[in-house]
Amino acid sequence: MSDNEIVEIAKAASNVAKTGGKAIDATSAFGRFCDRVFGEGMVQGFGIVSDRVKYVRIKQAIRLEEKVTKLLEEAGVQKTQPVSPVIALPIFESATLEEDENLHTAWANLLATAMDPSRPEVKRSFAGILAELEPSDVLLFVKIVRHSLDARYDSAKERRLDEWRTIASSGTDDFDISFGNLARVGIVSSATKQTALIISGRNDGGRPVYGDVFSVSPLGCAFYGAVAY
């Protein structure tokens, strides 16, 4: 990292991290947070601050740190575990660009899960799946999960597509697009041959496939457990 880059990041952090008129040393705090995520010494080695978290993203990066820290504190996590850059870097890159509050919180939840040694392993695919979802997709998926899974998130209930539409209480076009995307990334699935058809939202006759039966997939169960920390 060059001297100019360090100065730019420090200035940006100082401008966005003022509370009650008092500037907080956000850059140092975020650097310590990166050490917790990647392990000591990893920040400089991978150039995370200079290469991945530009000063234009620093505000969202600080909010990510605040959310994750709060989640871990509330969960009583005393000692965190380093997260593989293969998982952490995509989370940082997407979260620091994300403007939707629900999606930004989902990224924070995913990172907190990865840092918590008591939680199941976060799969590499989870960040890719979350990056493929629109805010409306996330809202629909949460509704589906809450109506189909038990308290342990391990037993899915199948429902017809028209039943999911009623549960979602959303417009026809929005539901078709969002449900199709959830099926495309594999977090809802069907045991019938109609599964591929719902991705386009239509059958051979040009009509929506209402009769097909869908449920949260095993991948969807694990994914939800990670992003709902």
Domains and CATH numbers, the chain: 3-131 (no CATH), 135-227 (1.10.10.10)
User: Is residue 193's pLDDT more than 60?
Assistant: no
Helix H or strand E encompassing 216:
strand 213-216
Give the model's pLDDT for residue 65. 94
Give the model's pLDDT for residue 198. 41
pLDDT, average across residues 197-206: 41
User: Is residue 140's pLDDT more than 50?
Assistant: yes
User: Lowest-pLDDT range, 47-51, 69-73, 139-143, 145-149?
Assistant: 47-51
In whole angstroms, give the CA distance from residue 120 to residue 99. 28
Give the model's pLDDT for residue 3. 54
User: Is residue 161's pLDDT more than 60?
Assistant: yes
User: Is residue 200's pLDDT more than 50?
Assistant: no
Give the model's pLDDT for residue 189. 85
pLDDT, average across residues 6-15: 52
- Average of per-residue pLDDT values in the chain: 76
User: Is residue 207's pLDDT more than 70?
Assistant: no
Give the model's pLDDT for residue 225. 93
Which three-class secondary structure string do you get for 143-176?
HHHHHHECCCCCCECCEEHHHHHHHHCCCHHHHH
In whole angstroms, give the CA distance from residue 119 to residue 121. 6
**50 Cβ neighbours under 8 A, 6+ residues apart:** 1, 2, 5
pLDDT band of residue 155 (cuts 50, 70, 90) is: very low
Give the model's pLDDT for residue 36. 78
How far lies 205's CA from each of 162, 192, 197, in Å? 17, 18, 11
Is residue 120 classed as helix, strand or coil in its secondary structure?
coil
